[in-house]
Structure 1
Amino acid sequence: MTRDWWIGWVLLLGCVICTAPTFAQQLEKTQTTLEINIAGVDDEVLSNNVRSYLELLDYAGQTAPASFRLRYLARRGDTSIKQALEPFGYYHTQVSHEIVREQDVTYVNYKVDVGQQTQLALVAINITGEMAEDPEYQRLRRKFTLKEGQPFIHANYEKVKSQLRSLAAERGYYDATFTQQDVTVELSTATAAIQLSLDSGERYAFGDVSICCNHLSDDFLQRYFQFSQGEPFHTRELLDLQVALVSSDYFENVEVAPLWDEATAGEVPVSVRLTPNQRDFYQIGPGYGTDTRARLTLAFDRRWINDRGHRLSTLMRLSEVQNTGFIDYIIPGTNPARDQYSITGEIKDRSYESLDSTLYKAGFRDTRYYDDWQRTYQLAYLREDFRFGDNPRESSTFLVPSAEFSWVKNDQDSDNRNLIDNGLRFSVKLQGASNSAGSDASFVAVSVGGKAVHSLTERWRVLARGEFGVMRTSNFDAIPPSLRFFAGGDHSVRGYAYQQLGPENEDGVIIGGRYLGVTSVEFDYLVAPDWRVAVFSDYGNSGMEWSMAWRQSIGVGVRWLSPIGPVRLDVAQAIDEPNRPWRLHLTIGPDL
């Protein structure tokens, strides 16, 4: 090697060493954070769609990509933004961008001019076949979101097609098919034309019904069917049948399905496959509530006694406060899914605070269920032996007819039916007796109750409830405790013990009243996926006159959203009686 060659290599190495710090500084300078700004898209729906299309947003807040990669992604963003706006009728969108580099941040700034929105100049929806005259289609047509003169929104077009498909499937137009699905957009005039044609064909009817593995009589099972062979097909009828059979508790598994592959002569046969449930059901469970204290529940159900679907349900609940035995013989009605008759018997022995009572009750009940309503007529014969404090034991006999109506509407959590996001419950009960018809005194009583649950935000809810009652009687002293009004307890005015609010006798013993008023408002907050905290105030009392002094309490609580429903632990203070200690309340069950 020559001397000049060595000198050249030494000089080159020196240059590299000298320039290395500068190169490192330049490399470090390129390590900037990427931020993206989009101007010109103010509508929230449009903005969200743009952001879902823009790939470059995946890098936002991170180290900016290399320059060549960043320029490529930024250019792709121009196209993506245009594509994101087209489903909303914006076909004339102009997009530009600039890349601004600062010391620590690299900005990609998009400027969007959405342009003129395309309008619907023509909407032609043509239905041929039997569905054209179907009243349900006529109702659906009036709700279509596609109308001439309105913006062309792709989602509205797809929604109309989906609605037509769903209606055809639900109402038995099995051969329905679209014969035309044309959408034309004229860019020069910013207009669109839609031509949509559906040939529904004929509407199928219900065919023969085959039933497999039924352990009950065919005549009884047929009472669950609200359709018959030859009637127009509707999937809702099959869904109602399946829900009714599952809810009956006679069957472990229920499968109801139309056999479209076997449809002939305009009729589709229906298959019903049933798996019998276990005939006997036993239940045992311990529990605790501040109203009842420790308790033990024993239950036995015979899900069917005979092939006519008669059922027997028994329950025994033992606690420190009250022991109850209950038996219910249930006879399905004409429509077993909605109406039933019951013959009931009950014995309840209670010894709590200064009340000692034994109730014997027998009754006949007629219950009917509607979609959201339930009504119950009942005739009950009861005898109650009771004593308040140290007073002599008394006995009352009553024959009590009653009518009760209740209504419940709610939005349930999809993962847990015991959790309510929004809902209403309302009930009213009227009962009475006459001293000329087997009762020791005449009386008439009305009770009205309600509760509302409303979600204010994703985390905040407000719960409000109220209960009011009034009684008129010829001889209040003969009215037994089970028919009188009491306040206080877990589901009444918290801060007071169970049924320890009301008028007192000369010995200071709570004896119950002729009037009842209870209200409550509660706010709870979701602090974790399965936990809420709450603050509340309850207000109410029972008395001999409506002018009774109402009592108020305040409290805080925590709720665990368990699989069996909210478990509530509350601590409440009666603010009208500051010397009364804070009281603990524990309850389990749904909010409504």
Structure 2
Amino acid sequence: MARRALALGIASAALVTQPALAQDRSTAEELEELIPDSALDNPEDWAAQGTDGPQPAEPEAFSEIEADTPIDDIPGMDLAWPEDLEFEPLQDLEPNEDIEFVDLLPDNPRLAFDEAETFDLSDSLVLAFPQKEPPFLESADFVERFEALSTIEELEDDGEENPAQVAARAKADQELLETLLRVYGYYDGQVIRTLASPEPGEDNADTSPRVRFDVIPGDRYRYGAIDLGQLPTAPDADTLRAAFEIQPGDFLQSDTIVQERFDLDRKLGETGYPFAEIDEPELLIDHEREEGDLTMPVRPNGKYVFGEVVSNDPDFLSSRHLASIARFDPGDVYQRSLDLDLRRAVTATGLVSTVSVTPREVQAPQGDEPGVVAMDVELERAKVRTIAGAIGYGSEEGIRVQASWEHRNFFPPEGSLRVRGIVGTQEQLAGVTFRRNNLGGRDKVLTLDAYASTIDNAAYDANTVALTGTYERLSTLLFQKPLSWAVGAEILATDERNRIVDGMPRPRQTYFVGSIFGRATIDTSDSLLDPTRGYRLTGFLAPETSRTQGQQYYYLRNQADASYYQSIGDRYVVAARARVATIQGADLVGVAPSRRLYAGGGGSVRGYAYRSIGPKNEFDEPIGGRSLVEFSLEARIGTGFLDGAVSVVPFVDAGSVSTSATPDFGEIKIGAGIGVRYTTGFGPIRLDVGVPLNPGPDDSPVAVYVGLGQAF
């Protein structure tokens, strides 16, 4: 009866799904009991009768059947078994040698692929690449990126790995690997994760849980159609399209899209499109074609040239002045980098608290003619008055107290006035300085300085009144220039003598000095404060005249400096410096002691006091010379300490000063030592400790120097 009930169910289903078939009047007897002929004649009346009529008998349950009972004798089964049913015998399958199977290690429940390329990233993590064809050429870069992001790697760094934690993080790492595969264009890749956990016991109690990922990239997808919106309509369409270096058929890599989008945006900004827009890219993957169609709408919005610069505060910084410090002229093709450069230049004046530069359309493009944009500069004034002071002590100069007051826009625009004073053990000074920044062009500075000073050091004692004027083109941290220069003039009166020794004064002389000078520097180094490669060459010439004790002297002061920097690997920099200087045309007595040549100190020969190297008189006082030669060599070695901010610098310096105009190397002083550099955002802080290798009787056994930037 149970078999019949099953048959009923099937019949009922057939009735529902095939309503067009009529009930057969010769239905089996069991079915007649359920659906009589009257139900076919009038189904609605029959359905309204409900279930009060006779019900079918309960089906009999199958009794237990022995396994060897013939199929014809099964109780309740009245279906005849077909006698002519035959099955073909099963055929033995031949082994396919091209199919590779993974082996399950009996003593370690993990998968292992034979001949897989493996990377042991740590004691807890193994990455394997079993796929041979096509080869996974990006495996090295893939492993490096995964290692940087792996949560299992972070867990091991914390020293807290255990089986439960490793298992939890293994799932996250598997998702990371699958994401990385898609980044590289492998959308059908597989990652098999296996975990080996140590069994408790003394033999392997210290064994760490170990995770292995077998990465099977599969085939790499390629770019299909590439839609860049309105880019083909731009005047420079071919040039702009070349900046987006993705072509149909290239291998797909999603992070390359981000980089190429940036490159295209930069190209648009640098070739005259200030209002260009680029929408977010969309990548549609077609698994059947194994391709991705890229859509990234681009709207160039017209090409433009620069117009005028407009200041919102012309009484403070005029439009004309801002235009003079811009690195573009009206009519030049718009470049976003020059736009940003103008903003940085206005910030560098130190006169504003905030500044923005915005291109504004003043003339729309017409046909092939570009439009014109004005550059609107919105700025807010900063406080322009500064009071500064410092108190310090140095082994070379003793106690020193200095203070200054400055108004940075006393003579608009960018005309500063500074009053300064120094009181110290060896120096006293009062001076006033006028400085006009960006005069006649960017980074061109006019400086007028008047001062009166008294200096009493180991070399000379000088009371001086001077006036100096300089016009120069500076190399700055904002814009390091391959060529910088300065020209100027100086007049001074100075009353000088050597220091008083044992209460005995040295003869004094008054000098009236006039000088014009020029300086030029060629700089190919990569940094002003911390160069690692390149060279610098500086030349200085100063024709001077000096009148003292009724005699007039004419001479030429000149100096040449050269430095070279060479990186060796990522951690080492070798730096060398040489200096040669001479005073030609006058005897030593015709040159004021304060203007002679000396060596020694932190920027010269370390290990010796400031200006202590050179010819000496009978009182063992430096008298200066007319020629100088210096040489320095140091190695800057990165330590990796404090994230690489600290480096160690062994050095050796040498110098010689002669009374003749030609160096005679009668005495060469050598100093050596070691320094430490701490790199900051504005340059390295320098600490050098030097010792004199051939000291004189008055030289200290050790000298310490502190400064900002490298020694040279």
TM-score of the superposition, structure 2-length normalised?
0.64
Q: CA deviation at 1:202?
A: 1.1
* Equivalent residue runs for 1:576-591 within 5 Å: 576-577=694-695, 581-591=700-710
Q: Does the aligned pair in 2 maintain the 1:427–1:448 contact within 8 Å?
A: yes
Q: Does the aligned pair in 1 maintain the 2:526–2:533 contact within 8 Å?
A: yes
Q: Distance in 2 between matches of 1:95 and 1:427?
A: 58
> Is 1:284 matched with 2:389?
yes
> Is 1:553 matched with 2:671?
yes
Q: Does the aligned pair in 1 maintain the 2:605–2:630 contact within 8 Å?
A: no
Q: Which stretch shifts more, 264-273 or 569-578? A: 264-273
Q: Which residue of 2 aligns with 1:495?
A: 607
Q: Which residue of 1 aligns with 2:23?
A: none
Q: CA deviation at 1:488?
A: 0.8
Change (3 A) 1:186 1:326: same
SS at match of 1:156: helix
Q: Which residue of 2 aligns with 1:372?
A: 480
Change (3 A) 1:391 1:235: same
> Aligned partner of 1:481: which letter?
P
* Structure 2 counterpart of 1:62, from 161, 175, 183: 161
More RCO (CA 8 Å, sep 6+):
1
Q: Which residue of 1 aligns with 2:495?
A: 385
> Is 1:37 matched with 2:156?
no
Q: CA deviation at 1:354?
A: 4.6
* Equivalent residue runs for 1:499-518 within 5 Å: 499-505=611-617, 507-513=619-625, 514-518=627-631
Q: CA deviation at 1:128?
A: 2.5
> Aligned partner of 2:630: which letter?
G
> Aligned partner of 1:443: which letter?
L
Q: CA deviation at 1:493?
A: 1.4
> Is 1:109 matched with 2:212?
yes
Q: Distance in 1 between matches of 2:519 and 2:619?
A: 36
* Identity fraction in percent: 16
Higher strand share: 1
Q: Distance in 1 between matches of 2:222 and 2:319?
A: 59
Q: Which residue of 2 aligns with 1:397?
A: 512
Change (3 A) 1:568 1:197: closer
Q: Does the aligned pair in 2 maintain the 1:424–1:452 contact within 8 Å?
A: yes
Q: CA deviation at 1:456?
A: 5.8
Query: How many residues in Structure 1 have an aligned counterpart in Structure 2?
Result: 546
Q: Distance in 1 between matches of 2:318 and 2:297?
A: 44
Q: Distance in 2 between matches of 1:242 and 1:485?
A: 43
Q: Distance in 1 between matches of 2:227 and 2:319?
A: 50
Q: Which residue of 2 aligns with 1:474?
A: 585
Q: Does the aligned pair in 2 maintain the 1:539–1:553 contact within 8 Å?
A: yes
Q: Bigger radius of gyration, 1 or 2?
A: 2
Q: Does the aligned pair in 2 maintain the 1:520–1:539 contact within 8 Å?
A: no
> Is 1:273 matched with 2:378?
yes
> Aligned partner of 2:358: which letter?
A
* Structure 2 counterpart of 1:203, from 285, 303, 324: 303
Q: Which residue of 2 aligns with 1:88?
A: 184
> Is 1:239 matched with 2:340?
yes
Q: Does the aligned pair in 2 maintain the 1:220–1:309 contact within 8 Å?
A: no
Q: Distance in 2 between matches of 1:357 and 1:422?
A: 40
* Equivalent residue runs for 1:122-521 within 5 Å: 127-132=231-236, 138=239, 145-146=245-246, 151-169=251-269, 173=273, 176-177=276-277, 198-204=298-304, 211-216=311-316, 218=318, 221-224=321-324, 226=326, 232-258=333-359, 270-332=375-437, 334-335=439-440, 337-369=442-474, 371-373=479-481, 374-388=484-498, 391-406=506-521, 420=530, 422=532, 426=536, 428-433=538-543, 440-450=553-563, 452=565, 457=570, 462=573, 464-477=575-588, 478-505=590-617, 507-513=619-625, 514-521=627-634
Q: Which residue of 2 aligns with 1:24?
A: none
Q: Does the aligned pair in 1 maintain the 2:222–2:250 contact within 8 Å?
A: yes
Q: Distance in 2 between matches of 1:317 and 1:250?
A: 26
Q: Distance in 2 between matches of 1:436 and 1:385?
A: 13
Change (3 A) 1:473 1:214: same
Q: Distance in 2 between matches of 1:57 and 1:279?
A: 53
Change (3 A) 1:228 1:450: closer
Q: Which stretch shifts more, 174-183 or 402-411? A: 174-183
Q: Distance in 2 between matches of 1:149 and 1:466?
A: 54
Change (3 A) 1:149 1:422: farther
Q: CA deviation at 1:427?
A: 5.1
Q: Does the aligned pair in 2 maintain the 1:225–1:241 contact within 8 Å?
A: yes
Change (3 A) 1:183 1:294: same
Q: Distance in 1 between matches of 2:390 and 2:511?
A: 33
Q: Which residue of 1 aligns with 2:652?
A: 537
Q: Distance in 2 between matches of 1:278 and 1:316?
A: 22
Change (3 A) 1:131 1:492: farther
Structure 1 segments unaligned to the other structure (5+ residues): 1-29, 413-417
